[in-house]
Copies of this chain bind each other. A is one copy, B any other.
Amino acid sequence: VAAVGEKGLRIGDLARAAGTTPRTVRYYEELGLLKPSAERAAGAHRTYTEDDVERLRHIIRLKGLLGVSLEELGELLEAEEASAARRAEYRAGATPARKRAILEEALGYIDRQLALVDRRAAELDGLRRELDERRARVRDLLEDPADA
């Protein structure tokens, strides 16, 4: 039911597809996290592509899962873009030494994100264990009501 005509997506379509609101999209644009695909005259409608949907989903997921400020998130996204740029350089053909340097930088960047993810996962797992334990105790009492 989304409008996907020749002109691309409108801000409401983008927001719905990513599970957010037009206001948030404009705010992210203001902070430089997300730009409309096409140039637009002052006051004209913003248009977006499916790639923008992916990027916005990516932003929202990182924000929710990593719990960083939008400014830090902007730096992270810049690092991602730099990484993509280096991949293009890589594919365009670089010297073996340069290729190696590019790959190692990419590895470091991925490992930093993984460290953030792992820390969160460990915290979540700690909470899960606690809840599991409590659940097991309650279940035991329900199945075998033999206590003081």
Contacts and interface: CB of A to CB of B under 8 A. Distances in A.
Contacts of A4: none
Nearest to A99: B145
Interface in A114-148: 114, 117-118, 120-121, 123-125, 127-128, 131-132, 134-135, 138-139, 141-142, 145, 148
Interface in A4-33: none
Copy tally for this chain in the complex stands at 2
A106 interface: yes
A96 B146 CA distance: 10
Interface stretch (A39-47, A48-56, A60-68, A70-78): A60-68
Given A99-B141, A117-B128, A121-B125, 13 more contacts: A65-B123, A65-B124, A65-B127, A99-B145, A103-B138, A103-B142, A110-B134, A111-B135, A114-B132, A114-B135, A118-B128, A121-B121, A121-B128
Interface of A: 61-62, 64-65, 67, 91, 96, 99-100, 103-104, 106-107, 110-111, 113-114, 117-118, 120-121, 123-125, 127-128, 131-132, 134-135, 138-139, 141-142, 145, 148
